[in-house]
Amino acid sequence: MAEPLVLYSVSERVATIAINRPEKRNALNPDLVQQLTDSFIKASEDNDVKVIILKANGNVFSAGADLAYLQQLQLNTYEENLADSENLKRLFTTIYYLPKVVIAQVEGHAIAGGCGLATVCDIIFSVPDASFGYTEVKLGFVPAIVACFLLRKTSETVAKKILLTGSLFSAQEALDYGLITFVTNKEEISHKVKDFALDLCNEASANSLMVTKQLIGQTTNPLLEKSLAMAVQINARVRDTEDFKKGIAAFINKEKTMW
């Protein structure tokens, strides 16, 4: 029997959700997106859970969409791509609006959708040698959904720099940009994340944590849902362009795209 794509466990009122696709660099596909969403909903409804940790097995947090998934996107109809974009939006909004604090433990590279998955969490710990980046423009794609959250975490100047260039940046740069919370040595990150989670469990009211998270989200992002609805449509439309098909074909064939 194949290993589950997502592992779920609870200890000391802390749920750990672990992406378990290390052989594919924890790349996202529809099944993984759905299982992650289901796991966060499960943790949200679990009365024995107060705080959630998101991590990944292997050396990469998430490399974004996997090759088979990218190939399928080229064949999808607009309606299919719209539904697929809605599923990714649902994962990100589930984390963002979840009534419990979500801590990301990033111990490897977080790229494209994987970068969005990390930075949409409430608190983000990263090891120093992890790289972050939204590389979509290099594939003829757009970081539509993640941009809606990114623009609430950092300045327009920084957003334009990292989204328009598609360049990778270091954990320290991610910290400077306001995208992550802590940079911690690999030998200490598990211990630090656990201690942080337990401190929240033991030192703060669950209701107060929930209401404070809602307060921050609702007061800083009053137009988020409208922005996300537009982003989902942009996502689906761009997948039908010649640039997208050209970029994905070159990526799959490991060729340099001549833009």
For the annotated catalytic residues, the residue numbers are 136
* Strands of the chain, DSSP E: 6-11, 14-19, 51-56, 60-62, 101-106, 109-111, 123-126, 131-133, 169-170, 182-183
| Gap between the Cα atoms of 192 and 50, Å rounded | 17
| DSSP tag of 80 | H
| DSSP tag of 28 | B
For residues 148 and 231, is the Cβ–Cβ distance under 8 A?
yes
